[in-house]
Structure 1
Amino acid sequence: MDPETDRQEHGHAKRAGAKLQRHDSLYGDAEKVSGAQHHGHEDSWVRTLRLAFQCIGVIYGDIGTSPLYVYAGTFTSGIGNIDDLYGTLSLILYSIILLPMIKYVFIVLYANDNGDGGTFALYSLISRYAKVSLIPNQQAEDAMVSGYGLDTVSAPMKRAQWVKKILESNTMAKVAIFLLTILGTSMVISDGVLTPAISVLSAVSGLQEKAPQLKQGQIVWISVAILVVLFSVQRFGTDKVGYSFAPIILLWFMFIGGIGLYNLIKYDVGVLRAFYPKYIIDYFRRNGKDAWISLGGILLCFTGTEAMFADLGHFNIRSVQLSFSFVLFPAVSLAYIGQTAFLRKHPEHVSDTFYKSIPAPLFWPTLIIAVSAAIIASQAMISGTFAIISQSQTLGCFPRVKVLHTSKIYEGQVYVPEINFALGLLCVIVTLGFQTTTNIGNAYGICVTSVMVITTILLVIVMLLIWRVSVWLIIPFCLVFGSIELVFLSSVLYKFKDGGYLPIVTAAVLVSMMATWHYVHAKKYQYELEHIVTNGDMIELIEKHDVKRTSGVGFLYTELVQGISPIFPHLIEKIPFVHSVLVFVSIKHLPVPHVENSERFLFRKVRSKNSKMFRCVVRYGYSDTLQGSEEFAALLSEHLQLYVEEEQQMITSMMPNQETEVLQTSSMVLENDNARPSHRAAVGSTVYVEETLRPGEPTEFTQPCISNLSGRISEEQYHIIGEEKQFIQREMQKGVVYILGEIEIKARHNSSFIKKIVVNYVYSFLRKNFRQGEKAFAIPRQKVLKVGMAYEI
């Protein structure tokens, strides 16, 4: 015997006497598992450069079209002092450098969630390191998913643990983080309404340069026509034309950069002195309150910044950094510098600076490209809104809507018909109601700055809890970026009555809807958790009602990942029949963007070996695509048969020595309080957990391997496995019935008046007017069995 084998067997022998206690993680809370690797890999420079080119057309359409309307929104009453142009240009340049470039491109992008960005990505990242979710459905196995990526303990762990303890023990902190997340999401959705309106209206207004007889009302109706067409073609998806955006936006940047350089040389090279920040101080000293109010127009220069973070999933950090630093920043900076030089000579043209400053031979090409760029900017925000709604729905924060995936290659490209109609209608109303870009800009600014402030707050939590950076670095981050964003926010809030009310009202409606839905969703889960059916209860329940088996397979959908839902006893009390194979299916969305197919299914037998009842937790990331009913049934059947085979093989392989107990989807803990975390080994679609060691014992483990186990399985055991697999296949062929709970939720009679309004009326209205469960899971109606039940929460 070789020394390595002897040492392993010696270690197993020492552990054989350990007294083990079984703890089923399907009933328990999640554990922290250390040692997982960070997401991410090194990309080749060729791929990075290709991604840098592609992201130009996807994430820079909004911020790249800002030169169309910034000066018009800043000097709404004209230029009072010609030297004010130095101050405004300096503000524009340093705003772009500090917020989009330094804060987002070189700091915030690193707070991605396995490559995905946005407000929900920050929330999911925090949720993995601290139990801030209001729905207690965490499991130990969640941390074993490859994308979970928890860090090992490091030096400043005490502070991180202190922050973690505060977040987990304080309900108000959990609610505050959740409300910040859905507020930021609501503001981005509002941005999806305003971006198409202001971008298209600004671009089309250039027609008045060559056709002065066109009135503003006619410009508005032309813009509305373009918007109607834009929203009408959304159902076709952007997969086929998505990467044709990059050449158009790149051409746009070449045009605005070249025109800016031309104007700089022709009119006033001296405007370059605006890089001296003293002109900002002079501007505020000279204008006082008016300078502060003008910040509402200046901040339009960095609208669309959040898109760089939210759309990160299709690119990588380096590609965004390269494209921003070497394409976007030089182009837009030259555009603003050239417009400033032009206005030094022609201050009377401040309301339509962009088109007035274009050399005559380039006017029509620039106009065509400007309209195209405006449409692309609008398309990016519309697609982003669809993706955010889809993510909100998967995390239980939004009523069910129909989500169509328009691309077989890119999962993030989705289309939501109901939301598309609502966005298009609101966008047309905003365009007709506001008429000009000035008032739309007032509303636009509130969306932009609000999301930035929320991102700063969530990022500080990430710094404390996950990055664990020095407090002496966090403080200047908050002072610099937080103070700048709050000053900008205060300026746009001052214009509340001049259009600023629109995003606030829209966000209030969305936050109320999302908070109501999630509140009742969490209360419903807690109710089921309180009325859970354990394995012991199942035996008594089935014997009491003399339950018979009928042919076929039943999938009973439940949100519970711990135990059996109270829907089941309610079902057999009315109809004492269950299918030959019954699977309690829990669709669970983890706080990660994606879950690999090999890690998607967790199984456990219910009641006894011959019951043919299983619990199955099906795990998805918040950006994953739910399969259709037939594909889902086939996958579940395949993994169920694999589970049956692997379970029997693992148990048989361990039985001769009785040294370890192998459990499916469970964790073992020693009764010793100082026990170390158990060692886990994944085999196929099944997760096995080996015994826990005493402190100080060897850490060598023998990973289970199916090929090594096959020799230990007798012919009789192979026959048993084969029969059970064939039985499942036969029952699948007889048909699958999907059993869904039709739950009516009411507030308890002793609940407060507000709770009764929220639960009995607001939630009931949302539930009745949005999609039902079978539509959300794409289940044919003829295969659905609904079980009606009432919950009082």
Structure 2
Amino acid sequence: MDPQLSPDSYSHQIKKETWKHTLLLSFQSLGVLYGQLSTAPLYVFGTIPAKDILSEETAYGLFSFIFWTLTIVSLLKYAFIVLKADDDGEGGTFALYSILCRHAKVGLLPSDRTANEVTHYEAGSPFKIKVESRARRAIAKHKSSHYLMLFLALFGSCMIIGDGVLTPALSVLSASKGLQRSLSDMSHIFSSSESRQESISKDFKRYVPVPSACVILLCLFMLQHYGTHKIGYMFAPIIIIWLFLISGVGIYNIFYWNHHIIYAISPVYMYKFIRNVHVSSWRSLGSIILCVAGSEAMFAHLGHFSRRSIKITFICLIYPVLVLCYAGQAAYISKNLHVEDFNHLSESVPRHIRHFFIVLSLLASAVGSQATITASFSIINQCLALGCFPRVKVIHTSDKINGQVYIPDINWLLMVLSLAVTIGFRDITKIGNATGLAVVSGMLVTTCLMSLVIALYWEKSLAESVCFLLLFGFIEASYVSACMLNFHKGAWYLVVLLMFSFTIMLAWHYGTMKKYEFDLQNKVSTEWLTDLSPGLGVSRVPGIGFIYTDIVMGIPAFFSHFITNLPAFHQVLIFVSFKSLPVPYVHPSRRYLIGRVGPKKYKIYRCVVRYGYCDRIRDTDDFEEQIIRSIGEFISLEENDLESLTSPEGRMIVVGKPSSSQDGNALIPMDDTISNMSPAGFANNETQVSQFNDISERGNGPVKRKKVRFMLPADSPKMRVSVREELQELVDARESGTAYFLGQSHLSVRDGSNFLKRFLIMTYSFCDKNCREPPVALNIPYAALVEVGMVYTI
């Protein structure tokens, strides 16, 4: 990939990090990324029914499965292989999908050939597809493979979101169960009557865990607005103390109870377990897979941290600590099968530190949920940028690492669903069954997409790709079969979450794609506006008109509808299109593509704004000023680009983020604060004035905005007279006022359409009405906004 496409202030800072920066990121990752892996011992053995652990030999077999699952899946697959498949510093399911979109032509995002040619146009474009192999040609030819990959990407994203709902409930409730047992022990001390002890113990089991878990969950989700950076600093010390504690307890249990547990590392014990397997013992493997819960987060959080910091922390600290902890717990279980709740971690802790352990486990469990919550934010941000999720507010919590985001709406939704799971199930076994299915399903999706990346992007042999798929796919498919045996014991809830989230994603993608196809089919030619409109009596009024549209060629249907009913438009028109590219970032110097619509005398321009799925371009307050300055730079550069003067529409120039124009070829900005007291552009139009009055009557006072005014540079022999005149017209139009045109679409379904199509369009329409406004409309004064309604019959 061309390095200029990555922002110099984001991912490249991480890639060229010093050891000091690596250690700092490693410290932060402990509080955000590895919380789930570190707290998994709270519920791995605990979610296995005690009646399924029949003998010492069973404990040996379960530990052998844990050791080799951690080694093969977490260490080999993720730490050594998958982390290398980053998308310019970004990870996760959609990062793999975006790589395949670029290098295997499998993208189904709303686009057409003309749009691709325009948005990908530039000399030496990094978007050129590699030399096509037979596999690439086969995949590009069969449309069904494109839908399959999109399905995998959406399915994997839904699994991460489901994990974000279930893991907080599971980890916090597991720690609360330890609190329940601790308080129950205290009741035995202060109560002399055995009947009284039993009554108090039952009360603690009934009332203590759920309320305490709910309080912790509320506090956890309320902390999310502080962002990954601050939360990492707050939570990392807790995880460090927790890791030292569980590793120390593990070593103590190994030497005190059963040091022969070390022999269970041998795969022979897995073979013995499988040889004597039956339904109940195979079902217990659905809990064993929870030992690698959080491994997917290592890849998904690449945008928050760096590959080196993630890898070093896992190999040098997390992996050996977890092996010691699970070995110690298995050693305790093998010798204490007669003890009540012997399979819970708190029971294996020495009594003189048990109360301290309980308090720390409550704090660590809250931290353990952080990885899945932030992973949900990251994956939804990617889905949002690629047109697969309804519009929600995204807050970037770091100026240096652009992948660190917080989404308030999703945060509160996850909180409500987690509380519902906690209160509804009240049983860590049932919640663990659903969580295990979410974890292993997400891993299986990553394995499938990763095998395609190995063959199509890394250009390895087909044998290597197939070996990767068969090795890890077989292991994960085996765990899926174990989890499905628990479908009626809690795993069904994940299916409900999957249907809910997948329906929303699929409906939004389908509606967005159909809306775009409708725009393409109903657009009018440029000649209609430039040649035929004078015959319709269309007049030009002072000012600049911004027309926001999804298409990058021709005139959108809603604007032609507006001109037909109100025959007037501004002396300067700018058609603005946002185009998401399947890359995480687009460098500011290559963000804007500027071109003309029609002959030069009409002063009609087109601006295509390219952005990656992790960029925050739409949230900037000075977006209008950036476009004006980019067009000014385009006008000055155009004279030297003879091809753009003689070519038809579609020839565009890549314009960088303009500087303060010290070279004298662009507009010079001057800050000024004004009050938008009157409608922009159509000041004398009765309809617009009426609209403004209606807004004022609803109580919207004048909006104070910072407006950047422009002036031309001093006379220079390098600047032609025609260029200076056009720049002056642009400045004068800006001073006259600005209006913004948005199409307001209303989708309807044709008569006779099937039920699925009707359901998807209805779901899209509902989400469109109830989600956030389009980003371009958020900072536009109401008096200057013109929304043109259109009915789209799909």
TM-score band by shorter chain is 0.7 to 0.9
Which residue among 423, 434, 438 is the counterpart of 2:425? Answer: 434
Q: CA deviation at 1:530?
A: 1.8
Contact 1:296 1:442 in 2 (8 A): yes
Contact 2:510 2:760 in 1 (8 A): no
Task: Name the structure 1 match of 2:107.
Answer: 133
- Does residue 787 of the first structure (1) align with residue 788 of the second (2)? yes
- Give the Cα–Cα distance (whole angstroms) in 2 for the partners of residues 327 and 143 of structure 1: 44
**More displaced 10-residue stretch of structure 1: 75-84 or 563-572:** 75-84
- Give the Cα–Cα distance (whole angstroms) in 2 for the partners of residues 575 and 78 of structure 1: 76
Which residue among 186, 192, 209 is the counterpart of 2:181? Answer: 209
Q: CA deviation at 1:350?
A: 4.7
Task: Name the structure 2 match of 1:225.
Answer: 215
- Give the Cα–Cα distance (whole angstroms) in 1 for the partners of residues 233 and 552 of structure 2: 41
Task: Name the structure 2 match of 1:402.
Answer: 393
The 3-state SS of whatever aligns with 2:64 is helix
Contact 1:587 1:619 in 2 (8 A): yes
Q: CA deviation at 1:386?
A: 2.1
Task: Name the structure 2 match of 1:666.
Answer: 651
- Give the Cα–Cα distance (whole angstroms) in 2 for the partners of residues 364 and 783 of structure 1: 63
- Give the Cα–Cα distance (whole angstroms) in 2 for the partners of residues 269 and 285 of structure 1: 25
- Give the Cα–Cα distance (whole angstroms) in 2 for the partners of residues 49 and 232 of structure 1: 28
Task: Name the structure 2 match of 1:173.
Answer: 145
Task: Name the structure 1 match of 2:82.
Answer: 108
The 3-state SS of whatever aligns with 1:77 is helix
Task: Name the structure 2 match of 1:748.
Answer: 750
Aligned pair in 2 of structure 1 residues 423, 202: CA closer, same or farther (>3 Å)? same
Which residue among 293, 316, 320 is the counterpart of 1:330? Answer: 320
Q: CA deviation at 1:189?
A: 0.6
Task: Name the structure 2 match of 1:16.
Answer: none
The 3-state SS of whatever aligns with 2:181 is helix
Task: Name the structure 1 match of 2:191.
Answer: none
Aligned pair in 2 of structure 1 residues 779, 34: CA closer, same or farther (>3 Å)? closer
Letter in 2 for 1:490: S
Task: Name the structure 1 match of 2:738.
Answer: 736
- Does residue 191 of the first structure (1) align with residue 163 of the second (2)? yes
- Give the Cα–Cα distance (whole angstroms) in 1 for the partners of residues 776 and 178 of structure 2: 46
Task: Name the structure 2 match of 1:55.
Answer: 29
- Does residue 292 of the first structure (1) align with residue 282 of the second (2)? yes
Q: CA deviation at 1:253?
A: 1.2
Alignment of 1:455-466 (within 5 A): 455-466=446-457
Task: Name the structure 2 match of 1:617.
Answer: 608
Q: CA deviation at 1:167?
A: 2.8
- Give the Cα–Cα distance (whole angstroms) in 1 for the partners of residues 624 and 4 of structure 2: 31
Letter in 2 for 1:393: L
TM-score (norm 1): 0.84
The 3-state SS of whatever aligns with 2:276 is helix
Aligned pair in 2 of structure 1 residues 603, 365: CA closer, same or farther (>3 Å)? same
Alignment of 1:29-48 (within 5 A): 41=15, 43-48=17-22
**More displaced 10-residue stretch of structure 1: 120-129 or 46-55:** 46-55
- Give the Cα–Cα distance (whole angstroms) in 2 for the partners of residues 432 and 441 of structure 1: 15
- Give the Cα–Cα distance (whole angstroms) in 1 for the partners of residues 356 and 122 of structure 2: 51
**More displaced 10-residue stretch of structure 1: 91-100 or 528-537:** 528-537
- Give the Cα–Cα distance (whole angstroms) in 1 for the partners of residues 47 and 245 of structure 2: 22
Contact 1:601 1:616 in 2 (8 A): yes
**More displaced 10-residue stretch of structure 1: 244-253 or 771-780:** 771-780
Aligned pair in 2 of structure 1 residues 781, 169: CA closer, same or farther (>3 Å)? farther
Q: CA deviation at 1:568?
A: 1.7
- Give the Cα–Cα distance (whole angstroms) in 1 for the partners of residues 136 and 664 of structure 2: 40
Contact 1:71 1:350 in 2 (8 A): no
**More displaced 10-residue stretch of structure 1: 273-282 or 580-589:** 580-589
Task: Name the structure 2 match of 1:449.
Answer: 440
Q: CA deviation at 1:43?
A: 4.2
Contact 2:553 2:650 in 1 (8 A): no
- Give the Cα–Cα distance (whole angstroms) in 2 for the partners of residues 164 and 340 of structure 1: 48
Aligned residues: 713
Task: Name the structure 2 match of 1:698.
Answer: none
- Give the Cα–Cα distance (whole angstroms) in 1 for the partners of residues 352 and 362 of structure 2: 17
Q: CA deviation at 1:615?
A: 0.8
Identity percentage of aligned residues: 36
Which residue among 559, 578, 582 is the counterpart of 1:587? Answer: 578
Task: Name the structure 2 match of 1:303.
Answer: 293
Task: Name the structure 1 match of 2:671.
Answer: none
- Give the Cα–Cα distance (whole angstroms) in 1 for the partners of residues 530 and 623 of structure 2: 29
How big is each residue's C-alpha offset from its partner over 1:440-474, in whole Å with a ceiling of 9 and x where there is no partner? 00000111111111111111111221111112222
Task: Name the structure 1 match of 2:195.
Answer: none
Aligned pair in 2 of structure 1 residues 471, 628: CA closer, same or farther (>3 Å)? closer
Aligned pair in 2 of structure 1 residues 42, 119: CA closer, same or farther (>3 Å)? same
Q: CA deviation at 1:238?
A: 4.1
Letter in 1 for 2:438: C
- Give the Cα–Cα distance (whole angstroms) in 2 for the partners of residues 69 and 351 of structure 1: 12
Task: Name the structure 2 match of 1:721.
Answer: 723
Runs of at least 4 residues of structure 1 off by over 6 A? 33-40, 144-148, 660-665
How big is each residue's C-alpha offset from its partner over 1:209-238, in whole Å with a ceiling of 9 and x where there is no partner? 331042243211111111122223333434
How big is each residue's C-alpha offset from its partner over 1:42-83, in whole Å with a ceiling of 9 and x where there is no partner? 544443333333322221111111000111123442521111
Aligned pair in 2 of structure 1 residues 152, 430: CA closer, same or farther (>3 Å)? closer
Contact 1:36 1:149 in 2 (8 A): no
Aligned pair in 2 of structure 1 residues 762, 580: CA closer, same or farther (>3 Å)? same
Letter in 2 for 1:790: V
- Give the Cα–Cα distance (whole angstroms) in 2 for the partners of residues 683 and 775 of structure 1: 21
Which residue among 94, 98, 122 is the counterpart of 1:120? Answer: 94
Alignment of 1:236-255 (within 5 A): 236-255=226-245
**More displaced 10-residue stretch of structure 1: 203-212 or 296-305:** 203-212
Letter in 2 for 1:168: A
Contact 1:555 1:584 in 2 (8 A): yes
- Give the Cα–Cα distance (whole angstroms) in 2 for the partners of residues 108 and 276 of structure 1: 26
What CA RMSD, in Å, does the superposition of the two structures yield over aligned residues? 2.9
Task: Name the structure 2 match of 1:422.
Answer: 413
- Give the Cα–Cα distance (whole angstroms) in 2 for the partners of residues 46 and 286 of structure 1: 51
Letter in 1 for 2:107: S
Letter in 2 for 1:86: Y
The 3-state SS of whatever aligns with 2:211 is helix
- Give the Cα–Cα distance (whole angstroms) in 2 for the partners of residues 559 and 471 of structure 1: 39
- Give the Cα–Cα distance (whole angstroms) in 1 for the partners of residues 353 and 562 of structure 2: 73
- Give the Cα–Cα distance (whole angstroms) in 1 for the partners of residues 345 and 306 of structure 2: 33
- Give the Cα–Cα distance (whole angstroms) in 2 for the partners of residues 149 and 100 of structure 1: 33
- Give the Cα–Cα distance (whole angstroms) in 1 for the partners of residues 544 and 136 of structure 2: 43
Which residue among 530, 546, 551 is the counterpart of 1:560? Answer: 551
Task: Name the structure 2 match of 1:767.
Answer: 768
Aligned pair in 2 of structure 1 residues 203, 449: CA closer, same or farther (>3 Å)? same
- Give the Cα–Cα distance (whole angstroms) in 2 for the partners of residues 273 and 315 of structure 1: 36
How big is each residue's C-alpha offset from its partner over 1:509-552, in whole Å with a ceiling of 9 and x where there is no partner? 21112111111211111121122333333323422323222222
The 3-state SS of whatever aligns with 1:556 is strand
Contact 2:590 2:655 in 1 (8 A): no
Task: Name the structure 1 match of 2:45.
Answer: 71
TM-score (norm 2): 0.84
Letter in 2 for 1:544: G
- Give the Cα–Cα distance (whole angstroms) in 2 for the partners of residues 256 and 147 of structure 1: 54
- Give the Cα–Cα distance (whole angstroms) in 2 for the partners of residues 778 and 505 of structure 1: 37
Contact 1:166 1:173 in 2 (8 A): no
Contact 1:252 1:373 in 2 (8 A): yes
Q: CA deviation at 1:774?
A: 5.7
- Give the Cα–Cα distance (whole angstroms) in 2 for the partners of residues 781 and 186 of structure 1: 37
- Does residue 93 of the first structure (1) align with residue 52 of the second (2)? no
Aligned pair in 2 of structure 1 residues 684, 620: CA closer, same or farther (>3 Å)? closer
